[in-house]
Chain A
Amino acid sequence: MKKDLLLFIAFALLVMAAPQLFKGGYLMNVLVFVGINTMLAVALNLLLGYAGQISLGHAGFFGLGAYLSGILTTTYSMDPWGAMPVAAIIVGSLAGLIGFPILKLKGHYLAMATLGLGIIIFIVFNETVDLTGGPSGLSGIPNLKLAGVSFDSDVKNYYLIWTFALAVMLFSINLANSRVGRALRAVHDSEVAAQVLGVNARLLKVQIFTLSAVISSLAGSLYAHTMTFISPASFGFNFSIELLTMVVIGGLGSIFGSFLGAALLTLLPEFLRAVNDYDIIVYGALLMVMVMFMPGGLVRGIPALYRKIAGQKGEAGNA
């Protein structure tokens, strides 16, 4: 717990110093996306890694946040800072309502139901052309402004996004090490035992599902206001799978793991540019390899691998 906090402080300092270290504007732009994806991966990890409940529809909540912010600030000329919480409240209420029936389902059934939910939301983005602009997207979304400064450059956006991302990480670390976080992990390990000890598993799952949706919505709002243009393609089934990949690769139940997964999957396409569309082969293979050989994700797998190699060397030395 103390260790987590120290690690977090070191991490936060590094994040804040990063723009001084790499002066390149292009990398800043990619790191903005790493920040948004980190928020999303942490949100999904709270649900999947801590509570053990899968969601294949989180891109939908992300998209709802983005579209609500986008529509409220363009069509209804709301202030972006006002639109963000309004979007979050709407998405949170929706998730809370649907959470009760959907979280009654388990395992494969929950996966399919959340997937269906995500697809329905995606279809709505495409079809409600009057509101969302349909497949061609919604443009002219205003940037966020603070004390007269508009967040319209990569470096400014970097600080904006990472302030939020770090806050989400810190909250999640606090949550994980608290009464509620323990109850979540308890439900994950043995739901019946948790209930016998007085944990209202059903309510708790809905709460965490709602929180996870709210964080995703916030990430969506931030995405809309930094990009100023959004289209349904960013919020489809494939992106839900990408989020899942981030969480699994980083490590279920590890907040820093989610950052690692988000960073890896956001940077990977930059390196895979040569193979362009074929990056999905790499995602597929990564998912399979991770589940088979490193089910704990990178945060646990790498140290274990290191110990194994070091151990073998030690044995060789002794022999």
Chain B
Amino acid sequence: MLEVSGITQIFGGVTALEAVSFKIAKGEITGVIGPNGAGKTTLFNIISGIYRQTSGTVLLEGKDVSGFPPERLARLAMVRTFQNIELFGGMTVLENVMVGMHTKSSSGLLACSFKAPWSISEERRIRECAMTWLEFTGIADLADQTAGNLPFGKGRLLEIARALAVGPRIILMDEPAAGLNSQETLALAGLIKRIRDLDITVVLVEHDMELVMDICDRIVVLNLGKKLAEGTPREIQESPEVIAAYLGDDD
């Protein structure tokens, strides 16, 4: 599904990532873990087209997508969420999800201004589809609220609903459990599993080990910009290198 090979990123002389390679299988939940500063978010920013890597390639379903801008990756059915949820604060919850339908609709500037008949029916379809994603994530009752006023936990759900509206085959989540309480984290675990059941491949960067060990099919461990280990949760838990890396870290 997704294959990164030899990803190296250098920021002004500092090597943030060094020759990182791994494969992610279709339909699995993969966790990317590692101590602070391991380069997890940098890796996500490269895969999702926000940064351009110094060297290395990203293959999405066998296609080389290195250096593609994020909007092109969305059309190839890859989408991501952010650690500090990036909502469209001035818009309603429903409208946020409707923006997610951007690539699944096509009315242009003039069709929209003149209210062409096809743009009206498309608008209806966008609205209905967006509503079903709000129901899927369980926040349909908040549809008309302003997104900027949502509590953090609900905002996280909205961001996931919005990403799902893109119709992804793969979704990258950057620390989805950050800032959530234990009850919300539990609900999130259920939601992520239900997303996988829709045949969407999930990749997450996460600090919450309990969550990672619970839901992930495979885990990739990064440390100091390099891949340290890769395997099933059980293998990772027993890996002496991983244990050493985590014990050496005060976190």
Seen from chain A, the residues whose Cβ lies within 8 Å of a Cβ on chain B are 171-172, 174-175, 178-183, 185-186, 188-190, 192-201, 207-208, 211, 253
Q: Are B48 and A186 in contact (CB under 8 A)?
A: no
Residue of B nearest to A207 (CB): B109
Residue of B nearest to A181 (CB): B112
Question: Which of B74, B87, B119 has the most chain A CB atoms closer than 10 A to its own CB?
Answer: B74
Q: Are B86 and A179 in contact (CB under 8 A)?
A: no
Contacts of A188 in B (CB 8 A): 88, 90
Q: Are B114 and A171 in contact (CB under 8 A)?
A: yes
4 tightest Cβ-Cβ pairs between the two chains A and B: A198-B74, A178-B112, A198-B103, A193-B86
Whether a CB of chain A sits under 8 angstroms from the CB of B126 is: yes
CA distance A190 to B87 in the complex (A): 7
CA distance A268 to B101 in the complex (A): 44
Count of chain B residues near A, Cβ 8 A? 41
Contacts of B91 in A (CB 8 A): 182, 185-186, 189
Contacts of A180 in B (CB 8 A): 107-109, 112
Contacts of B115 in A (CB 8 A): 174
CA distance A199 to B96 in the complex (A): 13
Residue of B nearest to A200 (CB): B71
A194-B112 contact, Cβ under 8 Å, with A179-B105, A185-B88, A189-B91: no
**Which of A174, A193, A200 interacts with B87 by CB under 8 Å?**
A193
Contacts of A175 in B (CB 8 A): 109, 112-113
Whether a CB of chain A sits under 8 angstroms from the CB of B70 is: yes
Whether a CB of chain A sits under 8 angstroms from the CB of B23 is: no
Q: Are B69 and A211 in contact (CB under 8 A)?
A: no
Q: Are B107 and A195 in contact (CB under 8 A)?
A: no
A186-B71 contact, Cβ under 8 Å, with A172-B113, A211-B109: no
Nearest-neighbour CB distance to chain B for A51, whole angstroms, equals 12
Given A175-B113, A189-B90, A196-B73, 19 other A-B residues pairs in contact with their CB atoms under 8 A? A175-B109, A178-B113, A179-B126, A186-B88, A186-B99, A188-B88, A188-B90, A190-B88, A192-B50, A192-B70, A193-B82, A193-B86, A197-B103, A198-B71, A198-B75, A199-B102, A201-B71, A207-B109, A211-B109
